[in-house]
Amino acid sequence: MDLAASLADLQAEASCPICLEYLTEPVTIDCGHNFCHRCIHQCWEGLEDIFPCPICLHHCSNGNLKKNTQLCHMTDIVKQLPFKRSKRKRQEEEALCEKHSQVLVLFCEQDLELLCPQCRISSNHQDHYLMPIEQAGTSHRKRLKRYIENLREQFENAENGLEMQGSKSFELRQKVKDLRRELNCEFNQLKDLLDQKQDVIVLELMTEQKNVEEKLIENYSQISDHFSMLKNLLSEVAEKCVQADLDLLIGIESIYKRYKNLKTPRVFSYELKKESCYLSPLYFGLQKMISTFKEDLTLDPETAHPKLIISEDRKSVKYGQMKSDFPYNPKRFTFIPAVLGSEGFDVGRHYWQVEVRGIGEWCLGVCKESFARNVIMSPSEKDGCWQIHQATLIHETWDTEQVTRIGVFLDYDLGEVSFYNWNNRSYLYTFTDAFTEKLRPYFSLGSTSNFLTIYVSTDEW
């Protein structure tokens, strides 16, 4: 190696990789590379947790800048060596304008282009705001650093969306499995009516699953592409932020355009259609009654037998101990443990639902407003009370949480009171009579109903 080459290598070792000038106040970072204190501080300005080396991109500690005294002395010695680069050599190392072959020293803020002095006087840039490369580099470095936090947030959101979409296929299969289990339960209850329909509904459900899975796969691909683009852009912006001004500004327009045109794909969400079993016309009649004629009933405490306990919201009743200080009221039932609904009906159609929980005897129906409250025997149609009587018995498992759901439909003008069992969607019984006065909902519990509660339900089962 000749002397000139050795001196050139020595000069390069004494130069800052960022500003390409002799090292000023040289410092050494964690990875071992050396820089001017001002240059590395400027590169890392505004960064919070990632401090990459401009040469090897090794993550360093911002506070760990070790002053290199020996390198400082060596740089002072190198400066005194009789070595000069030729003009041609300097031109080869400097970036030149492709149009005018002059050194690029300016940056157009409007067109985001590097310019030489000759470009400055061209018609394309005469009215544009031009900045020296060093000033433009500082300005755009700060601008790019402001992108990092937003890009990180978008990157994390895309990553979360990617994970979420990745699990939706499993969730879809699980939901389909649950729906099929629910459908099978209904099919078992109504097997005589639905055997021929089950395969059709399951096929529709599986077809829907296939369609949703295809959309999920497509959406997953879109989010995956967006995730990769964010990852690459984030990496490129972070790398740009630690480059020298000239390298930072080359191609910066492309970064700005890609950042500006970022569009986060919408996360595809779905809701499976509840493919209910095909029920008999009676079932659809119930659904229509619920939606059209449903009443929100409450219980009338003034009519309650002294041993009946009415809830504060007047939606439930259960059998309890008689209160010694219970006030007398001629409207109150004195022998039959019964209570009436607060609402009365003397025209139209009305529907309400009752839920019976526990074990014991109970009665549901309607009675006349003038129905005698002091009768001893259980009332019947001739007394002006139309009711069904059932008993929930104690099983070997001592199940005190048995639930029976009953629907009551009153067609006053037609003179009918019908009852439906919502546990198996079945029709129970219809009373037919000529109603001549206001009717009120009737609820009664047997004397052995210590574990039974009647609820006036507002749910649409």
pLDDT in tens, 183-203: 776 666 556 555 656 677 778
Confidence band for 284, pLDDT divided at 50, 70 and 90: low
Report, as an integer, the average pLDDT of 68-88.
74
Q: Looking at the domain that runs over 3-67, which CATH code has it been given?
A: 3.30.40.10
DSSP 8-state code for residue 74: H
pLDDT in tens, 88-141: 444 445 678 888 777 788 888 888 888 887 776 655 776 788 888 888 888 898
Query: Which helix H or strand E contains 226, and what residues bound it?
Result: helix 198-241
- Joined tokens for residue 91: 């031109």
DSSP 8-state code for residue 377: S
> Is residue 408 within 8 Å of residue 351, measured between CB atoms?
yes
pLDDT in tens, 135-177: 888 889 888 888 888 998 899 898 888 888 878 878 888 888 8
The distance from CA 346 to its chain's CA centroid, rounded to whole angstroms, is 49
- Joined tokens for residue 230: 């964010």
pTM (predicted TM-score): 0.41
Q: What is the pLDDT of residue 350?
A: 92
Is residue 47 over pLDDT 60? yes
At 407, is the secondary structure helix, strand, or coil?
A: strand
pLDDT in tens, 408-427: 999 999 999 999 888 877 78
User: Of 43, 378, 458, which Cα lies nearest the Cα of 242?
Assistant: 43
Spell out the CATH class of 288-456. Answer: mainly beta
> Is residue 105 within 8 Å of residue 133, measured between CB atoms?
yes
Report, as an integer, the average pLDDT of 369-393.
85
Residue 201: which residues within 8 A CB-CB, separation 6 or more? Answer: 183, 275, 277, 278
Is residue 246 over pLDDT 80? yes
User: 40 or 87: whose pLDDT is higher?
Assistant: 40
Q: What is the pLDDT of residue 189?
A: 57
Domain ranges within the chain, ordered by starting residue: 3-67, 288-456
Q: How many residues does the chain have?
A: 461
Q: What is the pLDDT of residue 86?
A: 44
What's at 312, amino acid-wise?
E
Is residue 4 over pLDDT 50? yes
pLDDT in tens, 394-412: 444 444 567 888 989 999 9
Q: What is the pLDDT of residue 87?
A: 41
User: 84 or 120: whose pLDDT is higher?
Assistant: 120
